[in-house]
Structure 1
Amino acid sequence: MRVLVLYAHPVPESFGAAIHETVVASLKAAGHEVDDCDLYAEGFDPVLSPDERRGYHDTDANAQPVAAYVERVKAAEALVLCFPVWNFGYPAILKGFLDRVFLPGVSFKMVDGKAQPALHNIRRLAAVTSYGGSRWRAFLMGNPPRKAVCRALRAVCHPLARTTYLAHYDMNLSTPASRAAFLQKVETKLAVF
């Protein structure tokens, strides 16, 4: 399967980087073709310009500023997001990617004023992430990142797409053992992705 990995963390020695390395290695070991998109390393500009916003609904031209990324999304059969949860959301660079690349005509199409999913090529969706706080705290806050992946992002994929959400909670209190156990869980889950 062709898997697009979207990675969003600026620090190469972070636990986020270890998660990313585990994700890519596990997918490759399982025989998948991996397109590893490190948004920071590639210098992705997350800022939607005024002209891009004005032309947002022009499906003949809206993807031109990010055409290479649109092609990578369209070529993928699966999408894996690797990101830390910051302020109960995506890092700005990942949010900006979704704002600029998941456009009308790309991730959805408008039919009679209603959005319909258009990423039918994406049949598997996963997020591998970490939270500073506990699972309980995330639950009390409504766990916006999980909903953003499992509901909003899932809604633009193939109707039968399967979703996996793997999170290491309580990073503020994590230990080498808890981090190693999480990486092992990621490896195990992605071995059968």
Structure 2
Amino acid sequence: MKTLIIYNHPYDGSYNHAILEAVINGINQNHGDYEVIDLDKENFNPVMNANDLLGFVKHQAVDPMAISYAEKIHQADHVVFIFPIWWELMPAMTKGFIDKVIYPGLTYDYKKNGLSMVSLLPNLQSTTVITTMNTPKVMYKLIDGNAVKKALIKGTFKKSGMKNVKWMSFNMIKMVKPEKRVKWLKKIERTFSKMES
């Protein structure tokens, strides 16, 4: 079992980094194989330029880093995204990863009708999105519009044919007690220690 982790947070002392470590600990307990793409440390450029957009139209990616990331996804059985929610959305690097890697000709293509999509990732069994935010879950869903579920999970991953997409949301991070944070990390570790190949 090969898990590819796409991680986006600039601070190693963050709770997101603790989540990353919990995921890795769980995978190690399961004797799984993993690789981490740390977008901040790898200085990934999230900006779509004119050449990227032309490549999108032609279904021919031009960014060498994006192409290499897509190749890693092709080799993975499971993909995990870890990032914080800032102003109700993902950080720029995660959004840029979606724009430049979840890309026609790389991870999906269009059917003859030009609207429906088909996945180019036959090995990928599941995708897990793990996020943190300070907004309460009910408020994020009912007042803020649940952008992660609507735009990322349904509007991108499921639309492009990615299977078994799950979202683990940890809310009110600054407000909860340390004991609850530890409990959440243990839950994450258990989840990945039991993941089947």
How far 1:64 moved relative to its partner? 5.0
User: Aligned partners of 2:145, 2:190: CA distance in 1, in Å?
Assistant: 27
2:184 to 182, 185, 188: 182
Q: Does the CA-based 8 Å contact 2:67-2:106 persist in structure 1?
A: no
User: Aligned partners of 1:71, 1:63: CA distance in 2, in Å?
Assistant: 14
Q: Does the CA-based 8 Å contact 1:5-1:24 persist in structure 2?
A: no
- TM-score, scaled relative to structure 2: 0.89
**Residue identity matched to 2:141:** F
User: Aligned partners of 1:78, 1:171: CA distance in 2, in Å?
Assistant: 26
Deviates more, 1:20-29 or 1:62-71: 62-71
Q: Does the CA-based 8 Å contact 1:24-1:36 persist in structure 2?
A: no
2:158 — aligned with what? 154
1:145 — aligned with what? 148
Q: Does the CA-based 8 Å contact 2:45-2:96 persist in structure 1?
A: yes
2:82 — aligned with what? 82
Within 5 A, what are the aligned runs for 1:39-188? 39-59=39-59, 61-65=60-64, 66-112=66-112, 113-118=114-119, 119-140=121-142, 141-151=144-154, 152-158=156-162, 161-188=163-190
Deviates more, 1:38-47 or 1:63-72: 63-72
Cα shift readout 1:77-119 (whole Å, capped 9, x = no counterpart): 1110111111211111011011011111122212221231223
Deviates more, 1:135-144 or 1:1-10: 135-144
- TM-score, scaled relative to structure 1: 0.90
Cα shift readout 1:39-79 (whole Å, capped 9, x = no counterpart): 111111111111111221223x3255332112111111111
**Residue identity matched to 2:28:** K
- How well do the aligned residues superpose, as a CA RMSD in angstroms? 1.7
**Residue identity matched to 1:173:** M
Q: Does the CA-based 8 Å contact 1:63-1:70 persist in structure 2?
A: no
1:24 — aligned with what? 24
Secondary structure class of the residue paired with 1:120: coil
Q: Does the CA-based 8 Å contact 1:63-1:103 persist in structure 2?
A: no
User: Aligned partners of 2:55, 2:166: CA distance in 1, in Å?
Assistant: 34
**Residue identity matched to 1:18:** A
How far 1:183 moved relative to its partner? 0.4
Please list every run of 5 or more consecutive structure 2 residues that lacks an aligned counterpart in the other structure: none
Q: Does the CA-based 8 Å contact 1:120-1:157 persist in structure 2?
A: no
Q: Does the CA-based 8 Å contact 1:85-1:130 persist in structure 2?
A: yes
Secondary structure class of the residue paired with 2:57: coil
2:8 — aligned with what? 8
